[in-house]
């Protein structure tokens, strides 16, 4: 799963800052990637289809210089020219960028919005305590609070003066960083900080001056202990490389010879990807369990084909079976973690951060394969029934009061916390919430478990499915559309909406499903395909893509085939579009970005154009034979 150059640039910066620069081969691979990922204007964006961002371009610029490129190299000059052309320039870099630059001695701490570590010592009953934040946000600001509180600083040597001169139009002593504390480049702004956040920031700056020094040390110690816990229980991978990189800087700033620094740097390599075409880059997440689950479900719709590849199916089944979390975290309550036993992670599980929908899709895949005689592994290789129970329990623990399902943890914070979002580049990122996709996957998996193992049915499980179905119905809009959150966007939401309700036993003729199908049919393009543009994610509206996309077409067909007959005209035209676009190797063109998080960060799931179209065609073939 591909994101943007932000993490790769931060990796190069961190390795240099802690005095352990990359080797020559890695350096060459990083430079190849930066050349590949930059836009036609010489800048780098928040994703590969976005325009330039001051935040990303500044970080890549610094990384290029730290990797040894001179200021006169073409790629460096183009980036510097683009930064200088932006209103406000680097002084208007968003708050995350201000923190990174301050850590490198390239921005004054007076211009950095306060993130005091004392926040983590506040009483837990307070409605704005960090434990209520969404876990990714919480762990990013945990490390940021430590670094801010310690006023950590990496010495870049002679490059410090050179970068100060290259990044800013005025001499360093003349720069008024405090005056630009709230400045955010228009290219980067997604959520403008509101009045409540501005008042809170002002109050924190005043409060920070009044706090006793011994209190700061206690707060730093508390944050550092939590950082070490996160590194150790995740096998030094961290929840993601975003907080993992900050954790490395925190450990280094505490003690350059700290015993946890070397394994933390090594743990970053878990997020590394490399090939000859695009070089070395670091992704925001690894999606192996997620992809394997969907691939198995696709094969489950074509058992005769899958039976010819039984060895591959068996290996995939074994991977998922063994990737389940079977060991609980130590001190999980004290560290504000929810129980993880029974869950599956987005990746191989090494970092031990399981997710509701990843668990649900893995469980569904195992049940689908185990329920087909042509595919099922021998009895001794199947997942134990007791572990199916723990999987269901993990999913049930993620159901919110409104009936919807969260991702990593049940919702802890109120919606108003979004008004305290300080990131500026991302939205809807302060709290867990209920998601259409997670809810649909969850109730689908629970319903499949109920059907496969009737002895496991219970009033609790039945109630969870019913409440989840009601949540999905409430999420549908008057025109029949359903908003997604993790994919683009209404097409993805419609796919999950229909899949979840049908798996839960809702009849195909149900009015809600009929409205969803009618909405999808209305969005079908003249050539028979479907295509949705990522820009609609930012504005919460449907935006048609100029071209039909294999992935969106597959999502639409998978949903329609649960509601319409396989001979229906929209289905037939969609199938024809997919068939004519298939490549000689069996896959489909990659198409446009297909995933999203926090409204503005678009993702490219590289295997979506492989298994989703294959799944849609397999479902069409199976329904056609049945008809």
Q: Which of 79, 59, 73 is nearest to 16 (CA)?
A: 59
Query: For 312-336, b where at least 16 C-beta lie within 10 A, e where not — what string?
Result: ebbebbebbbebbbeeebeeeeeeb
Q: Where are the alpha helices (DSSP H) in 527-583?
A: 535-539, 550-560, 569-581
The model's confidence at residue 5, banded by pLDDT at 50, 70 and 90, is: very high
Question: Phi and psi at residue 512, in whole multiples of 5°?
Answer: -65, -40
- What pLDDT score does 627 carry? 75
pLDDT of residue 213: 87
The pLDDT of residue 305 is 77
Token pair 């490198």 is at which residue?
A: 104
Catalytic, 357? Answer: yes
* pLDDT surpasses 90 at 179: yes
Mean pLDDT of 15-43: 97
Are 254 and 19 in contact by the 8 Å Cβ rule? The answer is no
Over the stretch 197-253, which tens digit does the pLDDT of each residue have?
999 999 999 988 888 889 999 999 999 999 999 999 999 999 999 999 999 999 999
Tell me which of 19-33, 368-382, 391-405, 599-613 is least confident: 368-382
Would you say 497 and 507 are in contact if contact means Cβ atoms under 8 Å apart?
Answer: no
The conformational region for residue 107 under phi > 0 = left, psi -120 to 50 = alpha, else beta, is beta
pLDDT at 304: 78
Q: What is the model's pLDDT at position 464? A: 98
CATH says 6-271 is which class? mainly alpha
Delimit the domains of the chain by residue range.
Answer: 6-271, 285-475
How sure is the predictor about 540, in pLDDT bands with cuts at 50, 70 and 90?
Answer: very high
What does the pLDDT read at residue 405? 98
| Concatenated DSSP letters of 392-457 | HHHHHHTB-TTS-B-SSS---S-GGGGGG---SS--S-SS---BHHHHHHHHHHHHHHHHH-GGG-
Class (C level, CATH) for 285-475: mainly alpha
For the segment 110-120, the average pLDDT, to the nearest whole number, is 96
98 closest CA partner among 420, 424, 395, 316: 424
Q: Report pLDDT for 394.
A: 98
Q: Are strands 595-597 and 601-603 parallel, antiparallel or unpaired?
A: antiparallel
What is the C-alpha end-to-end distance of the chain, expressed in Å? Answer: 37
Cβ atoms within 10 Å, residue 455: 7
- Calculate Rg over the CA atoms of the chain: 25
Phi, psi of 5 (to 5 degrees): -70, -5
Looking at 51-166, which runs of residues are DSSP E strands?
none
Contact 99, 379 (CB under 8 A): no
Residue 150: is it exposed, middle or buried by C-beta count within 10 angstroms (0-12/13-18/19+)?
A: middle
153 has a pLDDT exceeding 90: yes
- Per-residue pLDDT band at 48 (split at 50, 70, 90): confident
Catalytic-labelled residue, pool 357, 479, 510, 585: 357
Could you write out the DSSP letters of every residue in 14-33? HHHHTT-PPPHHHHHHHHHH
């Amino acid at each position: 799963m591909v994101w943007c150059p932000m993490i790769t640039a931060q990796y190069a910066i961190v390795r240099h800052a802690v005095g352990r620069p990359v080797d020559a081969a890695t350096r060459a691979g990083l430079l190849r990637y930066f050349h590949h990922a930059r836009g036609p204007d010489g800048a780098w964006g928040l994703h590969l289809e976005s325009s330039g961002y001051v935040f990303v371009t500044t970080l890549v610029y610094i990384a290029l210089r730290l990797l040894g490129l001179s200021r006169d190299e073409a790629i460096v000059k183009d980036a510097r020219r683009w930064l200088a052309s932006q209103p406000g320039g680097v002084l208007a870099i968003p708050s995350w960028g201000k923190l990174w630059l301050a850590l490198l001695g390239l921005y004054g701490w007076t211009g950095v919005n306060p993130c005091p570590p004392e926040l983590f010592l506040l009483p837990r009953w307070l409605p704005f305590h960090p434990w209520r934040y969404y876990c990714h946000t919480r762990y990013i600001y945990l490390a940021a609070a430590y670094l801010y509180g310690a006023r950590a600083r990496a010495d870049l040597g002679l490059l410090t003066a050179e970068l100060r001169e290259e990044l800013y139009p005025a001499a360093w002593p003349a720069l008024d960083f405090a005056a630009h504390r709230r400045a955010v480049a228009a290219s980067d702004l997604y959520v403008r900080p509101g009045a409540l956040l501005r008042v809170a920031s002002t109050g924190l700056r005043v409060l920070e001056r009044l706090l006793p020094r011994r209190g700061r040390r206690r707060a730093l110690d508390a944050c550092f202990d939590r950082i070490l816990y996160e590194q150790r229980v995740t096998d030094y991978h961290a929840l993601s490389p975003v907080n993992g990189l900050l954790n490395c800087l925190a450990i280094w700033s505490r003690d350059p010879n700290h015993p946890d620094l070397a394994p933390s740097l090594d743990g970053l390599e878990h997020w590394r990807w490399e090939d000859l075409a695009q070089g070395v880059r670091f992704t925001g997440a690894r999606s192996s369990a997620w992809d394997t689950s969907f691939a198995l479900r696709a094969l489950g719709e074509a058992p005769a084909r899958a039976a010819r590849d039984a060895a591959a199916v068996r290996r995939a089944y074994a991977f998922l079976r063994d990737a389940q979390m079977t060991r609980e975290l130590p001190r999980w309550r004290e560290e504000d973690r929810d129980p993880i036993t029974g869950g599956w992670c987005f990746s191989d599980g090494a970092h031990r951060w399981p997710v509701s929908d990843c668990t649900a899709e893995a469980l569904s895949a195992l049940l689908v394969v185990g329920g087909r005689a042509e595919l099922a592994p021998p009895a001794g290789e199947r997942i134990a029934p007791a572990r199916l129970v723990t999987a269901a329990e993990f999913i049930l623990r993620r159901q919110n009061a409104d009936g919807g399902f969260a991702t990593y943890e049940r919702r802890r914070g109120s919606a108003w916390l979004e008004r305290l979002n300080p990131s500026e580049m991302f939205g809807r990122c302060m709290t867990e919430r209920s998601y259409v996709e997670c809810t649909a996957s969850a109730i689908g998996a629970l319903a499949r478990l109920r059907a496969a193992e009737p002895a496991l049915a219970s009033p609790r499980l039945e109630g969870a499915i019913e409440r989840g179905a009601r949540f999905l119905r409430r999420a549908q809009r008057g025109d029949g559309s359903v908003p997604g959150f993790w994919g683009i966007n209404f097409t993805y939401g419609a796919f999950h909406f229909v899949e979840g309700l049908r798996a839960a036993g809702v009849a195909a003729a149900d009015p809600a499903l009929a409205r969803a199908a009618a909405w999808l049919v209305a969005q079908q393009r003249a050539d028979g395909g479907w295509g949705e543009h990522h820009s609609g994610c930012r504005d919460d509206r449907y935006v048609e893509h100029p071209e039909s996309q294999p992935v969106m077409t597959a999502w639409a067909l998978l949903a329609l085939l649960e509601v319409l007959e396989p001979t229906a005209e929209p289905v037939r035209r969609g199938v024809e579009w997919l068939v004519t676009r298939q490549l000689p190797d069996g896959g489909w063109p990659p198409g446009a970005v297909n995933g999203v998080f926090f409204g503005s960060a678009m993702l490219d799931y590289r295997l979506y154009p492989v298994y989703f179209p294959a799944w849609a065609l397999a479902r069409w073939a199976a329904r056609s034979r049945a008809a």
